[in-house]
Structure 1
């Protein structure tokens, strides 16, 4: 089963879990040999011409994708992969433990082998859920899907909190049933090393946000269990798309096409499994 394979990846060693945003990007990542693939909320939002989940004032009342839209994309991707898929489920699409439990149940139903729940609220006056509520949300997620690889994410570092805050929250989520802790914003060796030592379970870190100097062997040596790359691949793709568009619009030249993947190669890649 996909979930059994995904659980096994979290038991020892260190693995890279790249983030896709649609079936094509996920199939390409699978084709080069990754043992599992994750989704990126940012990449999915951008592919639909919408902003990623942010503070409410920034993304506006219609900026955020709704749960059904996100889970429809997760289901599309899961149905076309032969490796496990982990879903970026943001804050669970609701503040209550019941809403989070429903999201986890739906994600498992559409084929996700795991997923993350974050404590970010989107409210600048209180950017993180109260620790007690955040912990109850993880407990509810765990109870909703016992075989689901659950990641408890704390955004404490991203909203100006301390490393100590992050450790307290991550350990609370692990104690509540999360299989892995995720602390975005931890990108240097000293911070990551401290987290590995202080956390009571496996650590996920995100790389590629700013071209981090640490490599996968470096992270393995630090004791990291899982490495994701967030929306960085999607943003890199859009960088190339915009550069090509500007070349066309401003110069009327076509040098961007010199590095494209051939039609036949893509046809071969995307033939049904």
Structure 2
């Protein structure tokens, strides 16, 4: 599978028919999603970190890349990987290690895990441009815009970042936790596909598509749902 395959899945989609990308956290869950007929998968850092025994953002880069490689090997569909903010790696090394896993895409967020703050948008745009230059067309780059995550309600700041990241060579924009009422306005103002996060209490993937999302992902939600079901099963077994 190539980035071109993943890229093509984002284009020519009808309104209300977004690309739905489940979030596997290990090889077994990846097989389940692939066998269900999903055309591509998107690993979530939260789910993979939890499966490895870490809190989100605390898994060592080496373990995360190894987990991504196991997921990629397990399925015959394209896999894009959440690599947080790049683990502090220079663009060349980040791209090399991603390509070694077999992943054909990545999420790169504009939060700094060390400080818990938003990165400077110009610096993040430079980083994205450098990743694009190293990867060429070999990676589909999903640029996360974290303003809403950090409580910045002004949609203008999200759009400023989105435009910078578009110019830097991103393939898709991910305004994580953008309120549903602002998603359509955001999508109307940008030229790239838009990734929306589906939440258990929020709009359905189809509804997010009608609001302008081209792609829908779930973060660590599916891992959490599965672990909740497993905990219920464990209690039933313990009480039997």
TM-score (norm. length: structure 2) = 0.92
| 1:8-36 Cα deviation digits (max 9, x unpaired) | 11222121111110000001000011010
Q: Does 1:135 align with 2:122?
A: no
Hey, what does 2:5 align to over in structure 1? 5
* CA shift for structure 1 position 41: 0.7
Question: Of 10, 24, 36, which aligns to 1:20?
Answer: 24
Give the distance between the partners of 1:142 and 1:7, measured in 2 at CA.
14
Hey, what does 1:35 align to over in structure 2? 39
Hey, what does 1:264 align to over in structure 2? none
Q: What secondary structure, in the 3-state scheme, does the structure 1 residue paired with 2:143 have?
A: strand
Hey, what does 1:73 align to over in structure 2? 67
Hey, what does 1:91 align to over in structure 2? 85
Q: Does 1:105 align with 2:99?
A: no
Q: Does 1:175 align with 2:167?
A: yes
| Structure 1 residues without counterparts, runs of 5 or longer | 54-63, 254-273
Question: Of 103, 113, 116, which aligns to 1:122?
Answer: 113
Contact 2:72 2:103 in 1 (8 A): yes
Give the distance between the partners of 1:115 and 1:123, measured in 2 at CA.
20
Give the distance between the partners of 1:184 and 1:231, measured in 2 at CA.
13
| 1:238-266 Cα deviation digits (max 9, x unpaired) | 111222333444xx21xxxxxxxxxxxxx
Q: What secondary structure, in the 3-state scheme, does the structure 2 residue paired with 1:20 have?
A: coil
TM-score (norm. length: structure 1) = 0.81
| 1:71-99 Cα deviation digits (max 9, x unpaired) | 001111111211100000100001xxx62
* CA shift for structure 1 position 67: 1.0
Contact 2:198 2:205 in 1 (8 A): no
Over the aligned positions, Cα root-mean-square deviation in angstroms equals 1.6
| 1:154-177 Cα deviation digits (max 9, x unpaired) | 111111213221111122111100
| Structure 2 residues without counterparts, runs of 5 or longer | none
Structure 1: 4+ residue segments shifted above 3 A:
246-249
Contact 1:16 1:227 in 2 (8 A): yes
| 1:182-238 Cα deviation digits (max 9, x unpaired) | 0111141x2110111112311101102x331x2233222223211111110000011
RCO higher in 1 or 2 (8 Å CA, sep ≥ 6)? 2
Q: How many equivalent residue pairs?
A: 234
Contact 1:85 1:113 in 2 (8 A): yes
